[in-house]
A and B are shown apart, each in its own frame.
Chain A
């Protein structure tokens, strides 16, 4: 219902263009708000330097934007009408927020937090470590694939924390500390590949998917082949560039196997019952998301409801201490989204998105090959130096306003570009920041330039593969 209602409101906003509502927006006003948006993006890029959280930065800009836009008479105040013709009184900044996106992030985040208490993710991680028998090549491959899958199921940051921590412990145990830098970098770069796998694997996917109305299963079907190709290409490059080789002698292999055999995968499992319950709930959650668009009731209630529903089910297990999970919710991220949607909504009314849309339109006009390629590469370049979430939100709104259908390859250019751009610089995505943090904690030397020099090879390969994939998929009608 939230989703349907939000969609209705969104539809009403789309028609609230100046021509329809009859109010004139001067170029000066558009430039002013455009500058405000650019300033916000710039401030977000320097988030660490100014020691301010994302929600505070965007919150301040949302307040300023609302105040100025209200003073200029840019906002359509008044009652809203639901599909039954009932008038609803609501503050202007409430329908500006895409609650579908917020509920997916909130529900899925809670669900993952609770189920990870069961020890299931550490169980998988340790089982794979033991299965590798301590061989560096096998270990890199298993950890790489695990990073991708965890990024797809959890969020990129949590995936990086789990796999990164395990890499440190296991490589130290195997006395292969010299490989740690290569492992951590590769894992950091693979989180953004894994973030492409499903509709809920990363925030840009959720935002673009919601606006483009791409279904979970469709998303998976289109993204999965690329994720598989990019994962193995990245692992192949990592082996070559970081000199990771198989163990040569039988004695080395036996020693390594004995060392990893001491890990106990059951150590983190406090309750076998909750462990199996979490595993089953996880599978059902993925299935519910896959078939949400065809399941009765869920079809209407949307993906956000599915996420909240499963979060509520697993929370029942910890009914006496739910406050601990509420405290662990990433309120900064949720506040950031809410404020960001408000800012973008104001930008729509100030015609900033329409103005940017003209620029994007010129890119798209470069042709069937040049257009998508330029959009994907441009999105990647932009998201390498700034937050990919506002970028994805803006581009998605622009493409939506331009009326591109959900099977347009341009949506995928935004998705691939926004996700993969994070691999170019150490500040390009939250998960690469985590990778660099672990690298520095382990006293390994890696400068900003050093990261870019190494990562650019991987990022260039991944982006080139993405362009080729989107173009080929569009040509054969896969998208």
Chain B
């Protein structure tokens, strides 16, 4: 009886399709944080405004915050809390221009990402490690996550930063290594048919995000957004595959989610991608 109860409970849970609920993202206050490496902060601010001109629709209040190598992290945090922005723009190794890092975003940025619920755009840097602002607004935006289903916020931000007629690539990569780890455990359980489990679990893991993306396309279209939505849902190596997709699709802005209940895991993956995609603006939601 328990088997049959589970069977029907699974059927009905499977029939309950994840649906996107759209909320229009409104950006009213933006703070641009930069150190001496960006040169004149007001010129930098103007360049950022040019890059994010699609925010003009909301007519946001822009503010610049210049930090130095002697700025205390706590004081930067205090200033940002005081402004209560809807978006923070920063760059790698903020306030640490003397210490260019390869495997880190820098102490201040780390603190902002961990501490603040506010989305952060991290600007790319050049070969010398100097922050640069793309001259043109991004037309090709990508969402990179292994938890796409139900992540309405990430989709909303992705859609908000995709200009009219631009394209939004929703990429969901299930980690081969994690799957192999669980299959290794399943293979050792005699009651479970390994071949069936492998096939059905793979199918299910991919079917759910596909179904959610389908709902996103319908909802975004219904909301009157004229953006092209593409999707990539597959198994692979999360970091390597996202990097590959960025190159393959000519992505100009990459959106990652960091604000989850299991933030360390999520941030960990986003961090890995962030340290490898240095030439690309990143939006941490």
Contact = CB atoms under 8 A, between A and B. Distances in A.
A161 B1 contact: yes
B196 to A, nearest CB: 12
Nearest to B19: A262
B14 A165 contact: no
Contacts of B1: 157, 161, 434, 437
A168 B9 contact: yes
Given A434-B1, A437-B1, A161 B8 contact: yes
A175 to B, nearest CB: 14
A267 B17 contact: yes
A431 to B, nearest CB: 11
A157 B19 CA distance: 32
Contacts of B9: 165, 168-169
Contacts of A262: 16-19
A245 B2 CA distance: 31
A232 interface: no
Nearest to B13: A169
Contact of A166 (B12, B17, B18, B19): B12
B17 A169 contact: no
A406 interface: no
B181 to A, nearest CB: 29
Given A122-B11, A268-B11, A173 B5 contact: no
Contacts of B15: 122, 126, 263-265, 267-268
Nearest to A433: B1
Contact of A161 (B5, B13, B14): B5
A131 interface: no
A416 to B, nearest CB: 26
Interface string A145-179: 00000000000011001101110111001000000
A438 interface: yes
B12 A122 contact: yes
A164 B18 CA distance: 22
Contact of B12 (A158, A165, A437, A438): A165
Contacts of B4: 158, 161
Contact of A441 (B5, B11, B17): B5
A169 B12 contact: yes
Nearest to B21: A258
Interface in B1-47: 1-2, 4-5, 8-9, 11-19
A166 B15 CA distance: 10
Interface string A244-270: 000000000000000001111101100
Given A161-B1, A434-B1, A437-B1, A166 B8 contact: yes
Given A122-B12, A165-B12, A437 B17 contact: no
A181 B162 CA distance: 47
A438 B2 CA distance: 9
A168 B10 CA distance: 11
A267 B11 CA distance: 8
Contacts of A265: 15
Contacts, number: 56
A438 B12 CA distance: 15
Interface residues of B, number: 15
A397 B261 CA distance: 65
A254 to B, nearest CB: 13
Contact of A263 (B2, B5, B8, B16): B16
Interface string A436-450: 011001000000000
Contacts of A173: 16
A125 B12 CA distance: 9
Contacts of B18: 262
B5 A169 contact: no
Nearest to B4: A161
Contacts of A267: 11, 14-15, 17
Nearest to A126: B15
Interface in A257-289: 261-265, 267-268
B17 A263 contact: yes
The residue in B8, B14, B18, B19 that gathers the most chain A C-beta atoms within 10 A of its C-beta is B8
B64 to A, nearest CB: 42
A438 B16 CA distance: 20
A335 to B, nearest CB: 17
Contacts of A169: 9, 12-13, 16
B207 to A, nearest CB: 10
Contacts of A166: 8, 12
A264 B13 CA distance: 10
A437 B4 CA distance: 12
Interface string A90-127: 00000000000000000000000000000000100110
A121 to B, nearest CB: 9
B14 A438 contact: no
27 contacts: A122-B8, A122-B12, A122-B15, A161-B1, A161-B4, A161-B5, A165-B5, A165-B8, A166-B12, A168-B9, A169-B13, A169-B16, A170-B12, A173-B16, A261-B19, A262-B16, A262-B17, A263-B15, A264-B15, A264-B16, A264-B17, A265-B15, A267-B14, A268-B14, A434-B1, A434-B5, A437-B5
Given A126-B15, A165-B11, A268-B14, 4 more contacts: A161-B5, A162-B8, A166-B12, A169-B9
Please give me the 6 A-B residue pairs with the lowest Cβ-Cβ distance, nearest first.
A165-B8, A267-B15, A169-B12, A165-B9, A262-B19, A264-B17
